Amino acid sequence: MSRVLVIGCGGVAQVAIQKCCQNSAVFKELCIASRTKSKCDDLKNKLEGKTSTIVTTAQVDADNVEEVKALINSYKPDVVLNVALPYQDLTIMDACLACGVHYVDTANYEPEDTDDPEWRKIYEKRCKDLGFSAYFDYSWQWAYDQKFKDAGLTALLGTGFDPGVTSVFSAYALKHYFDEIHTIDILDCNGGDHGYPFATNFNPEVNLREVSAPGSYWEDGHWIEVPAMSIKREYDFPQVGKKDMYLLHHEEIEALAKNIPGVKRIRFFMTFGQSYLTHMKCLENVGMLSTTPINFNGHEIVPIQFLKALLPDPASLGPRTVGKTNIGCIFTGIKDGKEKTICIYNVCDHQECYKELGSQAISYTTGVPAMIGTALVANGIWNKRGTLTTDEFDPDPYMEMLTEFGLPWIVDENPATVE
Ligand SMILES: NC(=O)c1ccc[n+]([C@@H]2O[C@H](COP(=O)([O-])OP(=O)(O)OC[C@H]3O[C@@H](n4cnc5c(N)ncnc54)[C@H](OP(=O)(O)O)[C@@H]3O)[C@@H](O)[C@H]2O)c1
């Protein structure tokens, strides 16, 4: 029975919190804290009478370590779930360390200000040393490993769907289906349609930074970087159909390359429609994806933040999104001396998610695993110490909870592969 502080109250948080409240046996008390407290209060009111979890709310600026520490010291949670933005990962980790509580998040650190010279120096060295140039990487959070170990604390990094479930699928495949895994192709397909010419499924600023970065994959012990959207494949996704997908850099590749012994190649593909790509290219070409502030009529504005203000709030897409997502991993390798290929995937229906929780499937497929990771840390089933990703724990209890809490998975032992 735990007391959990959730920071953030956007699209993903709304699902994670409602799922925590369906699991009152673990989540006895929960505080929802975010920058805009009215959103937390609205969600608390929506949950009234539907859960035995005791819900309270608070205001916090998670960019400010002292504010987060003060909130933790007054609420005294066992675990903090960070479902705000990746910009707040390090401040919340600092506060958790200072106060002696476990930490959980869904996305690895990236700075809000990518022009910060201190950060840039380290970033440029990392680009050269490792060979990929995305703004996000694990080095910042892995640097906390010894501190969390010394404090006897767990920092569970990246428990969304991808990263998160895709890494649990990898650990599960290794435990139950393979002696050696040689290749992993992670395929993220959103076959949903929200009817807008252009919108993103989660925070637009973070999403557009991610998909406009050069693509990269891991092969034979090193990164290979390619121009954004330059590797395209078509795949026939079960229950969705044929879609074009593009190779992206993605954070779980970094952790899987470290944690799956002997893996030779790891790639990540995401589906995009032509309209999305055309809009994104146009916005990029005119400078709207820039994170560098400009002066407009005497006001400093950051183009990508201004764009975020114009785009639909991802949390508002629920009622109008129809179709399904199919996210999973294709593994090849060896079992008992023979070559083997399997695919483990989940299919999630946007309208079913909306009926259950009022959210679209992207928030749903991220929020459910955020709750599961938090529950496993809170009840001590996942109890390793340090900064760890989901592939570093026993996958079985996580896989059982996926089915129990709305994300059942399928193992296909004869899947189509990606060339
Ligand atoms: N692993 C995965 O599969 C996956 C998939 C999708 C998303 N994600 C991650 O999930 C996280 C949430 O995404 P989302 O789509 O839910 O984003 P969102 O809708 O933009 O919500 C972000 C929330 O964080 C709050 N927030 C922002 N800055 C804050 C600060 N300084 N202090 C306190 N609260 C702050 C926002 O408050 P306001 O209401 O005041 O803006 C909002 O409630 C992101 O880190 C994203 O990268 C992971």
User: Residue of the nearest CA to atom 2 in ligand 1?
Assistant: 160
Question: How much is the average pLDDT of 36-46?
Answer: 97
State the Cα angle at 247 between 107 and 410, rounded to 5°.
70
Q: What is the pLDDT of residues 4-19, one digit of tens each?
A: 999 999 999 999 999 9
Q: Is the distance from the beta carbon of residue 202 to the nearest atom of ligand 1 less than 6 Å? A: yes
pLDDT band at 201 (very low <50, low <70, confident <90, very high): confident
If we measure between CA atoms, which residue out of 194, 183, 100, 166 comes closest to residue 326?
Answer: 166
Asked whether residue 397 is domain-assigned, the answer is: no
Cβ neighbours, 10 Å, residue 77: 21
pLDDT in tens, 103-126: 999 999 999 888 899 999 999 999
Q: With respect to residue 235, please indicate whether it lies within any of the assigned structural domains.
A: yes
Residues 185 and 202 in one domain: yes
Residue 315 lies in a domain: yes
CATH at 171: 3.30.360.10
349 - beta bridge partners? 324
133 token code pair: 């140039």
Same domain, residue pair 63 and 120: yes
- For residues 176 and 115, state if they share a domain: no
State which ligand 1 atom lies nearest to the alpha carbon of 60.
33
What domain count does the chain have?
2
In a domain, 62, yes or no: yes
Query: pLDDT tens-digit profile of 184-194?
Result: 999 999 999 99
Task: Compute the distance from residue 8 Cα to the ligand 1 centre, in Å.
Answer: 6
Please write the tens of the pLDDT for every residue from 221-270: 999 999 999 999 999 999 999 999 999 999 999 999 999 999 999 999 99
> Mean pLDDT for the chain?
96
Q: Is the CB–ligand 1 distance for residue 315 below 6 Å?
A: yes
Which pLDDT does position 202 carry in this prediction?
A: 82
Residues 140 and 169 in one domain: no
Instruction: Measure the CA–CA gap between 400 and 177, rounded to whole angstroms.
Output: 17
Q: Residue 316 carries which DSSP code?
A: G
Q: What digits encode the pLDDT tens for the residues 370-400?
A: 999 999 999 999 999 999 999 999 999 999 9
Which of 157, 184, 199 terminates a domain? The answer is: 157
pLDDT > 80? residue 2? yes
User: Bridge-partner residues for 243, per DSSP?
Assistant: 235
Element (H, E) at 27: strand 27-34
Residue 288 vs residues 23, 142, 213, 283: alpha-carbon distances, Å: 42, 32, 14, 5
Does the Cβ of 255 fall within 6 Å of ligand 1? Answer: no
349 and 317 housed in the same domain: yes
* Mean pLDDT, residues 320-346 taken together: 97
Domain with 150 in it: 2-157
Q: Looking at the domain assignment, is residue 389 inside a domain?
A: no
Residue 362 has pLDDT above 90, yes or no: yes
Evaluate the omega torsion of the peptide bond into residue 197 and state whether it is cis, within 30 degrees of 0.
Answer: no
Q: State the CB neighbour count (10 A cutoff) for residue 298.
A: 5
* Bridge partners of residue 33, in order along the sequence: 7, 58
Spatial distance between the Cα atoms of 302 and 205, rounded to a whole number of angstroms: 11
Instruction: Tell me: do 9 and 151 sit in the same domain.
Output: yes
Distance CA 185, CA 240 (A): 18
Q: Which of 14, 35, 59 to mutate to test the pocket of ligand 1 (most atoms within 8 A of CB)?
A: 35
* Collapsed DSSP state (helix, strand, coil) of residue 106: coil
